[in-house]
Amino acid sequence: MEQGAQFAAEAAHGTLLALISVSSYAVVYAHASRRMGWPGALALAGIAWAATTAVTYTNPIPVLPGLGTLIAGCALAHWLMPGVSGPVIRGVSPRSDLVLRMSAAATLVLVLTSAAAWLGPSLSGFLASFPLATTILIAFTHAQHGPASVVAFFRGFLPVLPMFGVFCVVLTGTLGSMPLAAAFALALGVQIALQLVILWWMHRRNGPKMGRASPV
């Protein structure tokens, strides 16, 4: 396997294992959001993510068992989620919101990519799984719409998280046997197809309730 493909495969494996930490992040943030504001909840969730990532990084497991662990972790996290204890508010965000979210996202991306440049493929993969977009979305959701919307967000987020793990599995299995672009395209196509199936199933199961409320 050429050097670039090897680097990508190792990074994808690291990302797969680190996704397990995102389920810990979600559970801790959801419970913390009912007792404190977004800065405190975000700090506790970040600690949970870092602690779980340290365990999976120092005790790596193969790709397929890693995917199984991710699926089991997301199922457990969904089960441990608190109930939606209030109305899920549909609100209109202020116009300044977009600028604030973009600035926050750009800052986090800059910090993570700068650090990943010298950490190597495996640890870079772990860093790449940090829930960047989720952090931005959930902090604004928490601040503007309250903890009930946070819980509703994570209840919709966790069932589709393993699909990113499927992307990593397909990528690690195809890199080296096909061109890099083709491997990424195949992995992305499989992920999107499975996510659409999961979203269709969630809509069928929760359609009447989702029609009455929206998490953001």
DSSP state of 160: G
**pTM here?**
0.76
pLDDT per residue as tens digits for the range 145-199: 888 889 988 988 898 889 888 988 888 888 878 887 888 889 889 988 888 888 7
| pLDDT reported for residue 94 | 52
Instruction: Count CB-CB contacts under 10 A for residue 204.
Output: 8
CB 34 within 8 A of CB 142: no
Q: What does DSSP assign to residue 162? A: H
Q: How confident is the model at residue 210 (pLDDT cuts 50, 70, 90)?
A: very low
DSSP string, 113-132: HHHHTTT-HHHHHHHHTS-H
Q: What is the DSSP string of 136-159?
A: HHHHHHHHHH-HHHHHHHHHHHGG
CB 150 within 8 A of CB 29: yes
The whole-number average pLDDT for the span 90-103 is 51
**Contacting residues for 112 by C-beta, under 8 A, at least 6 apart:** 127, 128, 130, 132
Q: Helix/strand/coil (H, E, C) string of 35-103?
A: CCCHHHHHHHHHHHHHHHHHHHHHCCCCHHHHHHHHHHHHHHHHHHCCCCCCCCCCCCCCCHHHHHHHH
- pLDDT score of 215: 35
Token pair of 23 as six digits = 């389920």
